[in-house]
Structure 1
Amino acid sequence: MPHQPPAHAGPPHAVSGYASPIPVVRTHLGHAIASEWTKIKSVRSTVWTLVLMFVITVGVGLLLAVALGSDDYVGWPLLSGGFFGVMFGQLCIMALGVLVMSSEYTTGGIRTTLTACPHRGRVLLAKTIVLFSLAFVTTLVATSLTALIHSSLLGDQDVPVYAAQDPLMEDSIENGELVATAGHWMGATLGASLYVSLLGVLGLSLGALIRHSAGAITTVIGLVLLPLLAAMFMMGESLESLRDTLIEFSLLNGLATLFRLPMEGDETATGWPLLAMLAGVTVGALVAAYARLTSTDA
């Protein structure tokens, strides 16, 4: 009897297989950015961290503006009080930057991320773009609102004649009243937002390098505060030059100078050169993070 093929078998030339209904497309950086944006906005701690940063920045700025408004003359540039709110609020962005990367190593999610996107440099770049953009926009809104509060509450202060001789107030007095120039507004809003955003990216880089949340957060906070803390204990005359250098080039002095409140150095400095220094340090940390990410297993 001749062999009979099974009833369910198809023609000999048929090839069985599965055709996915999802179209196959060539992935690019935009897909990685969309993925990272979905991840960062779906985590509740991200929202609360940004809200806390906003409340601290604006809240401290408002309280300080109300306190300074009770005095006849403070002796500071008009928008400089916003520095103190940003000084505390930046800690939230630094911690968020670390957690964007280190949390994936803690949970093991980095394996899924790198499986979905094997291009590790693309993953790092996407995380950087999303974090920097989110931190910049949030900080810019907070610093702009704080600057408006200080301008409205303190802008009508009468400035004594002798104050015009103070280099710190050189361009802050007009017709005997406290004013803020375009440069002051740029430093207190755009410059401060760039500064805080770069610190967030620096935290992200350290998170990729250290891969431990507590260690990376401690490190980035130490980079900001340690130079000033070390300078406080350098009392001898032989250490005066080193002390002044540590203060002048510390990251926190860079932020203060953007608000025209330099802790050390030229009293008429704008803070933009120190911001450029921070950008260079951040780029160097990103390069180191990329090197480790591409040279070691997840």
Structure 2
Amino acid sequence: MNAAIHAEWTKFHSVRSTWWSVATAALLMIGYAGLAGLTVRLGGEQLSAQDAVIGGTFYLGQFALVTLATLVITSEYATGAIRSTLQWVPRRGGVLLAKAAVLAPVSFALGALCAAIGAGIAIPLISGAGVPTSFGGALQTTLATGGYFALLSLFCLGVGTALRSTAGSITVVTLLLLMVPILIGGLGLHDVVHFFPGMAGTNAMTSGTSPIVGSPAPYPPWLGLPICAVWSAAALHLGHTLLRRRDA
């Protein structure tokens, strides 16, 4: 497994799409946090530091991460490199495990680091406008963002393995993160919406009231990440099952 993980790390950091995705995620997350803090400072809107950071980390940065995590597996199917990968690592579960071992820590570090920098920018701006801030809330957001990004990357890895298509996988993940919850929320099923991965991640970063749905979650904030973990585990199980049954 050490050799497989090293090979996956080499493939991961040696392509330009990885760095473009990381740079885009960082720019969106940090930039939005600073812009939200500046809006509060100049406009006097009562937006908490926690929500200012979340607006950048969750809603914008996740799309760059979805692309990055999906390409880890679907790019190999697109180029045919998956045949070489499976030849050198015959145990297909080992291939998925090696990719996850590289992707999850990088995603956690990306989310936590960018959230921390965003908080460092937004909190002084908001505090200067007389809006109360909470270090504990900012720390919760930072750690939860890292955890959510790690779990979201594994979810995308599972979906990408199952579908073997970049466009199809990004479409399915985006639908589950945004469009389906919006549709269900429009039907008045707000409690159901909170159990989708995107909303559960948001609830983990806040005090339990989603700034997107506007209604309190039917569970405590600490339960948000375990709900995301269930989605990730289900996607990885599906991807692993299909990877074992199908030809490359």
Same fold flag (TM > 0.5)? yes
2:50 paired residue among 73, 76, 79: 79
- 2:163 aligns with 210
More helix by share: 2
- 1:10 aligns with none
Aligned mates of 2:52, 2:2 — CA distance in 1: 39
How much does 1:254 deviate? Answer: 2.5
2:100 paired residue among 106, 124, 128: 128
Identity level (%): 28
Larger radius of gyration: 1
For the 8 Å contact 2:191–2:217, the answer to whether it is kept is no
1:95 paired residue among 64, 67, 82: 67
How much does 1:199 deviate? Answer: 1.1
Alignment coverage as a number of residue pairs: 243
Q: Is residue 2:183 matched to residue 1:230?
A: yes
Aligned mates of 1:207, 1:195 — CA distance in 2: 18
Residues 44-98 of structure 1 show CA distances to partners (whole Å, capped at 9, x for unaligned) of: 11111101100110011111110111244x3333321111112111101111111
- 2:134 aligns with 180
User: Per the alignment, in what secondary structure is the counterpart of residue 80 of structure 1?
Assistant: helix
For the 8 Å contact 1:143–1:188, the answer to whether it is kept is yes
- 1:163 aligns with none
**Structure 1 residue ranges without an equivalent (≥5):** 1-28, 160-177, 235-239
User: Per the alignment, in what secondary structure is the counterpart of residue 70 of structure 1?
Assistant: helix
- 1:106 aligns with 78
1:245 paired residue among 182, 191, 210: 191
- 1:15 aligns with none
TM score, norm. by length of structure 1 = 0.76
User: Per the alignment, in what secondary structure is the counterpart of residue 21 of structure 2?
Assistant: helix
Q: Is residue 2:222 matched to residue 1:272?
A: yes
For the 8 Å contact 2:160–2:169, the answer to whether it is kept is yes
**Structure 2 residue ranges without an equivalent (≥5):** none
- 1:145 aligns with 117
Aligned mates of 2:143, 2:183 — CA distance in 1: 30
For the 8 Å contact 1:135–1:197, the answer to whether it is kept is yes
Aligned mates of 1:267, 1:287 — CA distance in 2: 27
1:193 paired residue among 134, 143, 146: 146
How much does 1:256 deviate? Answer: 3.0
For the 8 Å contact 1:136–1:193, the answer to whether it is kept is yes
Aligned mates of 2:177, 2:23 — CA distance in 1: 22
How much does 1:231 deviate? Answer: 3.4
